Amino acid sequence: MRYEGIPDAYEQLKELSRGSSIQKNDYIKFINWICYYRMG
């Protein structure tokens, strides 16, 4: 994600997963956000 120029992507993923269980749908939303950002 850093290679693609997405700022703080690792920190955003950590924030998503911190202190809670993550469902498949949560990951899908995150990946969709990355794709949208990249195509932006």
- 24 is a domain residue: yes
Is 2 a domain residue? no
* Structural domains in the chain (count): 1
- pLDDT at residue 28, as a whole number: 92
Distance CA 40, CA 37 (A): 5
- What pLDDT does residue 25 have? 94
Closest CA to 37 of 11, 16, 7: 7
pLDDT, tens digit (0-9, with 9 covering 90-100), for 8-39: 878 888 888 888 888 999 989 988 888 887 77
Structural domain contains residue 14? yes
Domain coverage including residue 20: 9-39
Residue 3 lies in a domain: no
- Domain-located, residue 18: yes
pTM of the model as a whole:
0.62
